[in-house]
Amino acid sequence: MERTFSAAVKRNPGRPKRSSAATQVTATTLAPAAKRGRKPNTGVVAKKPVGRPRKVTSLAAKPTTGRHGAANARALKRKTALLQKKVKEAIDKLNAALKQMEEVQGSFADILV
């Protein structure tokens, strides 16, 4: 059992290259050339969700009824009150800084005159 290989034919490993002979055969039969790769899914009507569902964080999605809904409303009121308090403090600090800047500008105007 001897194997004989011809020296003229050298084969590369891996997937064979697209041959020009195959495209010539399809051209003579007037058929469209075969495309390589995965075919597109054009017949799919609806996609199924993939992966973990997203967490719903909006308040409109959860009804506030019963004992727990009232607790959520109270917590929300506390948070808004705290936020309003912090905003008022920030406005007061900005107003104080603005007054100081006006005083400094006024003193420079007095010096220049």
Hey, how many other C-beta atoms are within 10 angstroms of the C-beta on 64? 13
**pLDDT tens for each residue of 82-105:** 999 999 999 999 999 999 999 988
Total domains present in the chain: 1
- The reported pLDDT for the residue numbered 112 is 72
Structural domain includes residue 107: yes
Residue 30 DSSP label: T
Q: Do 109 and 101 form a contact (C-beta atoms < 8 A)?
A: no
Place of tokens 């007037």: 30
Name the residue with tokens 């084969």: 11
105 domain residue, yes or no: yes
**pLDDT above 60 for 70:** yes
* pLDDT of 85: 97
Q: Which of 49, 51, 52, 73 is CA-nearest to residue 62?
A: 73
- Is 24 among the domain residues? no
On whether residue 101 sits in a domain, the answer given is: yes
In a domain, 111, yes or no: yes
Is the model's pLDDT at 106 over the cut of 70? yes
CA 63/CA 69 separation, integer angstroms = 7
pLDDT in tens, 21-66: 555 555 555 566 677 777 777 666 667 778 888 887 765 555 555 6
In a domain, 90, yes or no: yes
Asked whether residue 102 is assigned to any structural domain, the reply reads yes
pLDDT for the residue numbered 60: 58
Average pLDDT over residues 3-27: 64
Domain that residue 113 falls in: 85-113
Nearest-Å Rg of the Cα atoms of the chain is 39
Specify the higher pLDDT residue, 39 or 73.
Answer: 73
CA distance 14 to 16: 6
Is residue 91 situated within a structural domain? yes
Comparing CA positions, the residue from 56, 66, 59, 95 lying closest to residue 80 is 59
pLDDT at residue number 99 = 94
